[in-house]
Structure 1
Amino acid sequence: MRSLNLHLKVLITILVTLGILITAYQIFIVGIPITEDETDDLWNIDAKVEFQASPKNPVKVQMFVPPLSQDYVSLNESFISNNYGVSINRIDGNRKVTWSARRASGKQTLYYRLVLTKRYSGEKPKAKGPIFRDSIAVEGPEKIAAEALLAPIRQHSADVETFISETIKRVNNVNDDNVKLLLAGDASTPNKAKTIELLLSIAHVPMERVHTIRLVADQPQSPELWLRSFDGENWLYFSPETGEQGLPVDRLVWWTGDDNLVNIEGGKKVQVSFSLNNSEMNAIRLAKLTDESTDADFLEYSLYGLPLQTQQTFMIMVMIPLGVLVILVLRNLIGLQTLGTFTPVLIALAFRETQLGFGIVLFTIITALGLSLRSYLEHLKLQMLPRLSVVLTFVVVLIAAISLFSHKLGLERGLSVALFPMVILTMTIERLSITWEERGGGHAMKVGVGTLFAAALAHLLMSVPELNYFVFTFPAVLLMLVGFMLAMGRYRGYRLTELFRFKAFLKD
C-alpha cells in the first residue's frame, strides 16, 4: 500500500511538473501570447524613389533594402513600379533591389514597401565579422595629429569597446587642434565617421558604417549613421556623435558599408523619402503569418497547425476534461448526486448551441414527457431493449415536433434542440425512471436537478472564451488536470453534503 501511494505521488508530480514546464516554455521562451486579445505592433515602411529619367537612355536604379536577418521578420515585401523590371541581389551581407527599363522619360516614381514585426523573429544567427584590419595610409601633419590623438586614447581604454568609445569622444571634441586638422573644417557626421575609421585603422581595429531607419510613426525619416565593430563574439554598435554604445531597439538596419543608399544610371536628381506607420494585429494571427513566411516552426506541432475545421472540433474537445473536472469536484468533494459522470458533460456540450436557459427548458420538457412514456411502457411489461427503442424513437419525434413548432412561432433557437444527444436523453429518461421506481420520486427529482445543475455549471466554465483559448493554445494544461484528477481519485474523506447530514454526530 505504501509503495502504491509513493507511485501515485511520483506520477502526479511528473504530470504536473511536465505540464507546467511545457506551458512555461511556450509562454516565456517561444513567446506565445497568454490571451487571445493580445496584439503586436506591425510596421509599414514605404520608401519612395523619385528621379528624372533621361530620354533615349536605358534606366537602371539600384537601392539598398533591409537584410531582414536581424530582430525583425518580414510579413510582406513589395516593389511597386510601372513598366520596370525588378530583381534582388545580395552583396556583402546587404540586399539591393534593381529597377530597370529600356526606355523612360520625364519624372519617375518607384515604391518599395515593407511590413514587418518584431515578435517571432526567430533565433539570431551566430555573429561573424573581422577582428583585424590594415592601417589606412596617412602621411605628414595628419599622421602626427592622429598619433597625438591615439596616445591618450590608448591610455584611457581597457578593451575594444572602451577604445572605440574613447576615440569617438575625442573626435567629437571639435576644439582640439588635432581634431580640427583631421576634420579639415568639415564637422559633418559622415566626415567624423571617416576620421574615426582612420584612427581605429591605425590601431588595427575594424569598423563598419551602419545605416539605420528609426521606427517612429508619422514622422519624416532619413537614414541615420551608426558605427559597428566586431569584438570576436558580437557586433558592438556606436553612435558617431556621442559614442553611445548599443543600437536602440527602435532602429532598423537598412544597409552597411560606405556606398550610397541609391545609385542611378540613365537618370538624375534622384531622391528617396521614407514614410512609416504602425498598426496592431492579433498575436496568434500574426504567429500564423510569420510561421508561413519564415522558418519559424513553433506552431507546426501545435493545434494551430491543424486544418481550420479540425481546429474548431478540437476547441470543443479540449474543454471536455474541464467539464469532467467540474463533475468530479461536485460529486467527490461536494457530494452532489448526478446521473453518472459523463451525462452532465454531454448535456453541457448541447447547451453550447441551445444556450443555457433555453436548453434547460427543452431538456426538462423532453425528459418529463419521456418519463411519462416510460411509465406507460412499464405497464406493457416490455423487455429493456424494445422499451429503449420505443423511448428513443419517441425522443426523435419529440425533438422534431419541438423544432417544427418553434420554427412556426419564429423561435429559431428551438431548432438547435436537434443538437441534444438523443441516446443520452434516452438513457437519462431510462435511468431516471429506474431511480424513481427504486428510490422514489423525490430522490429521482433530486438526481435530475443535480444533473441539470452540474451540466449548467460545466457549460458556464467550458464557455469562458479566455479559458477556451488558453487550454487550446497550451494543451499541456491538461496534464496538470490529469494530475489533479489522480489526486482526487484517492480522496476518502467526507463530502460537503455529508458534513451537514452528520452534523448531529459531531455535536455528540
Structure 2
Amino acid sequence: MRSLTLHLKVLITLLVSLGILITAYQIFILGIPVTEDETDDLWNIDAKVEFQANPREPVKLQMFVPPLNQDYVSLNESFISNNYGVSISRADGNRRVTWSARRASGKQTLYYRLVLTKRYSGEQAKAKGPIFRESLPLEGPEKIAAEALLAPIRQHSADVETFISETIKRVNDTTDDNVKLLLGGDASSANKANAIDLLLSIAHVPMERVHTIRLNADAPQSPELWLRSFNGEKWLYFSPETGEQGLPADRLIWWNGDAELVKLEGGKKAQVSFSLNKSELNAIRLAKLTDESTDADFLGYSLYGLPLSTQQTFQIMMVIPIGVLVILILRNLGGLQTLGTFTPVLIALAFRETQIGFGIVLFTIITALGLSLRSYLEHLKLQMLPRLSVVLTFVVVLIAAISLLSHKLGLERGLSVALFPMVILTMTIERLSITWEERGGAHAFKVGVGTLIAASLSFMVMSIPELVYFIFTFPAVLMILVGFMLAMGRYRGYRLTELFRFKAFLKD
C-alpha cells in the first residue's frame, strides 16, 4: 500500500511538473500570448526617394534596405516605381535594391514600403564577425595624439567592451587637445566615429558602423549612426555620442558599413525621407503570419497548425476535461448526485448551441415525455434492446417535431435542439426510469435536477472564452488537470452534503 501511494505521488508530481514546464516554455521562450486579446505592434515603413534625372541618360539608383536577419521579420515588402526595373542583391550582410531605367527625365519619385513585426519564432542565427583587424596607417602629430589617448584608455579598461566605452567617452571630450587634433575641428557624429575607428584600429579592435531607423511614429526619421564590435560571441553596440551600450529595442538596423544610403548614376540631388505608421494586430494571428513568413516552426506543432475547421472541433474537445473536472469536484467533494460522470458534460456541450435557459427547457420536456413513454413500454414487458430502440426513435421524432414547431413560431433557437445527443437523451431516460423504479420518484427527481445543475455549471465554466483560449493554446495544462484528478482519486474524506447530513453527530 505504501509503495502504491509513493507511485501515485511520483506520477502526480511528474505530470504536474511536465505540464508546468511545457506551458512555461511556450509562454516565456516561444512568446505565445497568454490571452486572446493580446496584440502586437505592426510597423509600416515608407522610404520615399526623390531625385532629378539627367535627360537622355540611363538611370541607376541603389539604396540599402533592411537585411531582416535580426529581431524583426517582414510580412510584406514592395518596391513602387513607374517604368523602372527592380533587383535585389546581398553583400557583406546588407541588402540593396537597384532601380534602373533606360531613359528618364525630370523629377523622379520611387518608394520602398516594408511591413514588419517582431520576430516570434525560430532560433537566431549564430553571430559571426571579425575579432582582429590591422591598424590604420597613422604618423606625425596624429599618431602622438592617438597614443596619448590610448594610454589612459588601456589603464581604465578590462576587456573589449570597457575598452570601446572608454574610447568613445574620450573622443567625446572635445576639451582635450589630443581629441581636437584628431577631429580637426569637425565634431559631427560621422567624424567622431572616424576618430573612434582610428583609435580602436591601433588596438586591433574591430569596429563597424551601423545605421538604424527608430521605430517611433512620432519622432522625425533619419538614419541614426551606431557602432558595433564583435567580441567572439556576440555583437556589442555603442552610441558614438554617449558611449551608451546596447542597441535599444526600438531600433531597426537598415544597413552597416561606411557606404552612403543611396548611390545614384544618371541623376542628381537624391534625397530619402522616411515615414512610419504603427498599427496593432491580434497576437496569435500575427504569430501565424510570422510563422508563414519564416522557416521557424512557431505554431507548426501546435493545434493552430491544423485546418480551421478541425481547430473549431478541437476547441470543443479540449474543454471537455474541464467539464469533467467540474463534475468530479461536484460529485467527490460536493456530494452532488448525477446520472454518471459524462452525461452532464455531454448535455453541457449541447447547451453550447441551445444556450443554457432554452437547453434546460428542452431537456426537461424531452426527458419528461420520454419517461412517460418508457413507463408505458414497461407495461408491455419488452426486452431492453427493443425498448431502447423505441425510446430512441421517439426521441428523434420528438426532436424533429420541436424543431418544426419552433420554426413555425419563429423561435430559431429551437432548431438547435437537433444538436442534443440523441443517444445520451435515450440513455438518460432509461437510467432515470430505472432509478425511479428502484429508489422512487423523489430520488429520480433529485438525480435529474443534480444532473441539470452539474451540466449548467460545466457549461458556464466551459464557455469562458479566456479559459477556452488558454486550454487550446497551451494543451499541456491538461497534464496538470490529470495530476489533480489522480490526487482526488484517493480522497476518502467527507463530502459537503454529508457534512450537512451528519451535522447532528458532529454536535454530539
TM-score range, shorter chain: over 0.9
User: Which secondary structure state, in structure 2, belongs to the residue aligned with residue 229 of structure 1?
Assistant: strand
Name the structure 2 match of 1:436: 436
User: Which secondary structure state, in structure 2, belongs to the residue aligned with residue 40 of structure 1?
Assistant: strand
Partner AA of 1:481 in structure 2: L
Contact 2:122–2:298, Cα closer than 8 Å, also in 1: no
Contact 2:120–2:298, Cα closer than 8 Å, also in 1: no
Query: CA deviation digits over 1:279-321, x for unaligned, max 9?
Result: 1111111111111111221311111111111110000001111
Contact 1:133–1:206, Cα closer than 8 Å, also in 2: yes
- 1:243-254 paired onto structure 2 within 5 Å: 243-254=243-254
Name the structure 2 match of 1:498: 498
- 1:404-419 paired onto structure 2 within 5 Å: 404-419=404-419
Contact 1:213–1:251, Cα closer than 8 Å, also in 2: yes
- 1:15-414 paired onto structure 2 within 5 Å: 15-120=15-120, 122-414=122-414
Q: Could you tell me how far apart the structure 2 residues matched to 1:125 and 1:434 are?
A: 68
Name the structure 2 match of 1:480: 480
Q: Per-residue deviation at 1:116?
A: 1.6
TM-score, structure 1 as length reference: 0.97
Contact 1:72–1:121, Cα closer than 8 Å, also in 2: no
Q: Could you tell me how far apart the structure 2 residues matched to 1:152 and 1:496 are?
A: 78
Cα separation, partners in 2 of 1:57 and 1:416, compared to 1, 3 Å: same
Cα separation, partners in 2 of 1:185 and 1:505, compared to 1, 3 Å: closer
Cα separation, partners in 2 of 1:166 and 1:502, compared to 1, 3 Å: closer
Contact 1:218–1:275, Cα closer than 8 Å, also in 2: no
Q: Could you tell me how far apart the structure 1 residues matched to 2:9 and 2:143 are?
A: 77
Partner AA of 2:413 in structure 1: R
Query: CA deviation digits over 1:155-185, x for unaligned, max 9?
Result: 3333322222222222222233332222222
Name the structure 1 match of 2:427: 427
Q: Which region of structure 1 is more displaced relative to structure 2, 195-204 or 368-377?
A: 195-204
Contact 2:121–2:291, Cα closer than 8 Å, also in 1: no
Partner AA of 2:203 in structure 1: A
User: Which secondary structure state, in structure 1, belongs to the residue aligned with residue 346 of structure 2?
Assistant: helix
Matched positions, count: 508
TM-score, structure 2 as length reference: 0.97
Cα separation, partners in 2 of 1:172 and 1:6, compared to 1, 3 Å: closer
Q: Per-residue deviation at 1:190?
A: 1.0
Q: Could you tell me how far apart the structure 2 residues matched to 1:121 and 1:63 are?
A: 29
Does residue 15 of structure 2 align to residue 4 of structure 1? no
Partner AA of 1:492 in structure 2: R
User: Which secondary structure state, in structure 2, belongs to the residue aligned with residue 254 of structure 1?
Assistant: strand
User: Which secondary structure state, in structure 2, belongs to the residue aligned with residue 330 of structure 1?
Assistant: helix
User: Which secondary structure state, in structure 2, belongs to the residue aligned with residue 149 of structure 1?
Assistant: helix
Query: CA deviation digits over 1:85-143, x for unaligned, max 9?
Result: 21111111111111112222222111111122225153322222222222222233322
User: Which secondary structure state, in structure 2, belongs to the residue aligned with residue 124 of structure 1?
Assistant: coil
Q: Per-residue deviation at 1:335?
A: 1.2
Q: Could you tell me how far apart the structure 2 residues matched to 1:507 and 1:195 are?
A: 90
Q: Could you tell me how far apart the structure 2 residues matched to 1:318 and 1:490 are?
A: 25
User: Which secondary structure state, in structure 2, belongs to the residue aligned with residue 451 of structure 1?
Assistant: helix
Q: Could you tell me how far apart the structure 2 residues matched to 1:22 and 1:113 are?
A: 38
Q: Could you tell me how far apart the structure 2 residues matched to 1:155 and 1:437 are?
A: 97
Partner AA of 1:180 in structure 2: K
Q: Could you tell me how far apart the structure 1 residues matched to 2:282 and 2:42 are?
A: 10
User: Which secondary structure state, in structure 2, belongs to the residue aligned with residue 373 of structure 1?
Assistant: helix
Q: Per-residue deviation at 1:504?
A: 2.4
Contact 1:219–1:276, Cα closer than 8 Å, also in 2: no
Q: Could you tell me how far apart the structure 2 residues matched to 1:23 and 1:178 are?
A: 58
Q: Could you tell me how far apart the structure 2 residues matched to 1:430 and 1:162 are?
A: 81
Partner AA of 1:369 in structure 2: L
Name the structure 2 match of 1:13: 13
Q: Could you tell me how far apart the structure 2 residues matched to 1:122 and 1:424 are?
A: 46
Q: Per-residue deviation at 1:28?
A: 1.3
Q: Per-residue deviation at 1:496?
A: 1.5
User: Which secondary structure state, in structure 1, belongs to the residue aligned with residue 467 of structure 2?
Assistant: helix
Partner AA of 2:11 in structure 1: L
Query: CA deviation digits over 1:5-56, x for unaligned, max 9?
Result: 2222211111111111111111111111111111111111111111112222
User: Which secondary structure state, in structure 2, belongs to the residue aligned with residue 204 of structure 1?
Assistant: coil
User: Which secondary structure state, in structure 1, belongs to the residue aligned with residue 120 of structure 2?
Assistant: coil
User: Which secondary structure state, in structure 2, belongs to the residue aligned with residue 196 of structure 1?
Assistant: helix
User: Which secondary structure state, in structure 1, belongs to the residue aligned with residue 197 of structure 2?
Assistant: helix
Q: Could you tell me how far apart the structure 2 residues matched to 1:140 and 1:17 are?
A: 68
Q: Which region of structure 1 is more displaced relative to structure 2, 46-55 or 144-153?
A: 144-153
Contact 1:53–1:59, Cα closer than 8 Å, also in 2: yes
Contact 2:64–2:96, Cα closer than 8 Å, also in 1: yes
Contact 1:40–1:119, Cα closer than 8 Å, also in 2: no
Partner AA of 2:102 in structure 1: R
Q: Per-residue deviation at 1:264?
A: 1.1
Q: In structure 2, list runs of 5 or more residues that go unmatched.
A: none
Q: Per-residue deviation at 1:506?
A: 2.6
Q: Which region of structure 1 is more displaced relative to structure 2, 34-43 or 74-83?
A: 74-83
Partner AA of 2:241 in structure 1: E
Contact 1:73–1:121, Cα closer than 8 Å, also in 2: no
Partner AA of 1:148 in structure 2: A
Q: Could you tell me how far apart the structure 2 residues matched to 1:463 and 1:406 are?
A: 25
Q: Which region of structure 1 is more displaced relative to structure 2, 311-320 or 475-484?
A: 475-484
User: Which secondary structure state, in structure 1, belongs to the residue aligned with residue 77 of structure 2?
Assistant: strand
Partner AA of 1:59 in structure 2: V
Cα separation, partners in 2 of 1:251 and 1:121, compared to 1, 3 Å: farther
Q: Could you tell me how far apart the structure 1 residues matched to 2:257 and 2:398 are?
A: 79
Partner AA of 1:501 in structure 2: R
Contact 2:121–2:297, Cα closer than 8 Å, also in 1: no
Q: Per-residue deviation at 1:458?
A: 0.5
Partner AA of 2:451 in structure 1: T
Q: Which region of structure 1 is more displaced relative to structure 2, 329-338 or 254-263?
A: 329-338
Q: Which region of structure 1 is more displaced relative to structure 2, 158-167 or 387-396?
A: 158-167
Q: In structure 1, list runs of 5 or more residues that go unmatched.
A: none
